[in-house]
Amino acid sequence: MKITIVGAGYVGLVSSACFAELGNHVVCVERDGARVAQLHEGIVPIHEPGLPELIARNLAAGRLAFTTDLAQGVRHAQLLFIAVGTPMAQDGSADLSQVLEVARAVGRHLSRFLVVANKSTVPVGTAQQVHSAIAHELAARRLARVPAFAVASNPEFLKEGAAVEDFMRPDRVVIGVPPGSAGTRAESLLRRAYAPFNRNHERMVVMDVKSAELTKYAANTLLATKISFMNDMAALADALGADIEQVRRGIGSDRRIGYDFIYAGLGYGGSCFPKDVAAICHTARAAGERLRVVEAVQAVNAGQPARFAERVLRHFGGSLEGRTIALWGLTFKPGTDDVREAPSRAIVRALVAAGAQVQAHDPLVHSLDQLMPDEPAAQRVRLEPHVRFCADPLAAARGADALVIATEWKIYRSPDLPALRRALRAPVVFDGRNLFDPQDMARAGFIYQGVGRGQER
């Protein structure tokens, strides 16, 4: 098939490479010319295991091309996927300006039947806005014969760090199609595009467009809810002297609950959960409803990094003046270089505000510019003298009064404990990801605090 994907960000690049790997001819349109030039040179601007190899192989095979020319992309496509960013606006809503800009451009260049599918995460009703934007541009052209088109919803369910695997082995493929003959044609083309995934069993879940749009938000919000629920339970476990890790194993063995997303820790971050939870709350308010459970999910998550930083301060009597704190892990989760809404950012700010010097290590983040790219320059200048980036975990620990673990990278999971104890000025570990067993750490001579391990009081 001839497929165009607009947007060479995380979702667009993964989708482009994977569709090309399945034998399709894919054009990926990106307005950033520098990024297009990088991609043609084999430089992939995001960290995603397996993605550089896929892109290189399909570029060489001629199945994948990158361009800044959206008109070319529209002419090429039988299916056009919109995969541009939908960042969170100040009021919590999703900013659809890039999506609608693409829609208007499609309308300016459309000449034959085309299926336009929203792969970006968008609020309910966006497909109708996209349809209206395309139709408006077509009307402005005063064509003798107006080409037909259909706008569908095809939300992505990709985990950063495992996105290629998720795309190639999906749990389900959700598509929402409009009623009528255009919707029937859209479903047929989308089924054809995803046919390779249905050879073992049917993975297509077909529904109306609004339901498909809501499905994406409902899925992410439910996963976020599990995380905040466990962090609420972890606070109670600390107060009661229980161990949330034992609780996790006890409830996770129930098949109705399962083990996924029930780890207590510093809360969720990244590009999806924070903005999607905010967007669904905004959508509900606009519809005259309140999502009281989801609002509580937000509140718990927002407070989790500060709660953990407060634990560090409490250990040192409320001040970190003259103290050095080692920090392992800066990305919002392992396997990615994404720092958007990473809990480590709030922890760094809190530690520095309390007077600490921070010695940080992360496998992929090596500077404040990487850690806080969206912060005002003045904020980074204020932090710069107080944050040092180290080449390896032990170097970060050397001479520190305590170690804080903020991301569960594999490199941190089996440290040389005697060497770590020698490196630290004091054998104090605050484990924000519950990587270690408290009893093992005590036997190794550490003062150890995890999240919900019954140690806060």
Quote the CA–CA distance of 256 and 83 in Å, as a whole number. Answer: 33
The pLDDT mean for the chain works out to: 95
Q: Is 329 annotated as a binding residue?
A: no
226 labelled ligand-binding: no
Residue tagged active-site, from 18, 272, 281, 390: 272
Q: Report the pLDDT value the prediction gives residue 271, as an integer from 0 to 100.
A: 86
Domains of the chain by range and CATH? 2-207 (3.40.50.720), 220-449 (3.40.50.720)
* pLDDT greater than 60 at residue 214: yes
Q: Is 241 annotated as a binding residue?
A: no
- Is residue 454 pLDDT above 90, yes or no? no
Tokens 């991609």 sit at which residue? 39
- Flag whether pLDDT at 457 surpasses 60: no
The residue that leads in pLDDT, 345 or 457, is: 345
The mean pLDDT value for 206-216 works out to 97
What strands, in cross-sheet order, belong to the sheet with 447-449? 387-389, 357-361, 324-328, 402-405, 428-431, 447-449
**Model pLDDT for residues 38-73, shown as the tens digit of each residue:** 999 889 999 999 999 999 999 999 999 999 999 999
pTM, entire model: 0.91
Asked about 28 being catalytic, the answer comes back as: no
158 is in an annotated binding site: yes
CA dist 190 and 154 (Å) reads 9
pLDDT at 186 exceeding the cut of 90: yes
Tell me the two tokens of residue 26: 């894919």
- The answer to whether 333 is a known ligand-binding residue is yes
- Strand ordering across the sheet containing 25-29: 64-67, 25-29, 2-6, 79-82, 114-118, 149-153, 173-176, 204-207
d(CA 212, CA 190): 14
Q: Is residue 261 part of an annotated ligand binding site? A: yes
Give 335: exposed, middle or buried? Use CB within 10 Å, 0-12, 13-18, 19+: buried
Residues 6+ apart with CB under 8 A from 44: 13, 38, 51, 52, 55
Q: Which residues of 392-426 are buried (b: 16+ CB within 10 A; e: fewer)?
A: ebbebbbebbbbbbbbbbeebeebebeebbebbee
456 pLDDT band, cuts 50/70/90, is low
Q: What integer pLDDT is reported at residue 374 of this predicted model?
A: 87
Residue 90, pLDDT score: 85
Give DSSP secondary structure letters for 182-231.
HHHHHHHHHHHHHGGGGSSS--EEEE-HHHHHHHHHHHHHHHHHHHHHHH
Q: Encoding tokens for residue 12?
A: 């667009």
Q: Is the pLDDT of residue 114 over 70?
A: yes
pLDDT above 70: residue 441: yes
**362-403 pLDDT per residue, tens:** 999 999 999 999 888 888 889 999 999 999 999 999 999 999
What phi and psi, each to the nearest 5 degrees, are found at residue 418?
-60, -40
Q: Which two tokens stand for residue 388?
A: 């040092």
82 labelled binding-site residue: no
Of the chain, the percentage scoring pLDDT greater than 90 comes to 92
**The pLDDT of residue 137:** 96
Nearest to 274 by CA among 368, 171, 346: 346
210 a known binding residue?
no
Q: What residues have CB less than 8 Å from 372, skipping those under 6 apart?
A: 339, 345, 379, 380, 383
- 89 confidence band (pLDDT: 50, 70, 90): confident
In this prediction, residues 105-119 reach a mean pLDDT of 96
> Which of 161-165, 195-199, 201-205 ranks highest by mean pLDDT?
161-165
Residues 108/72, Cβ–Cβ less than 8 Å: no
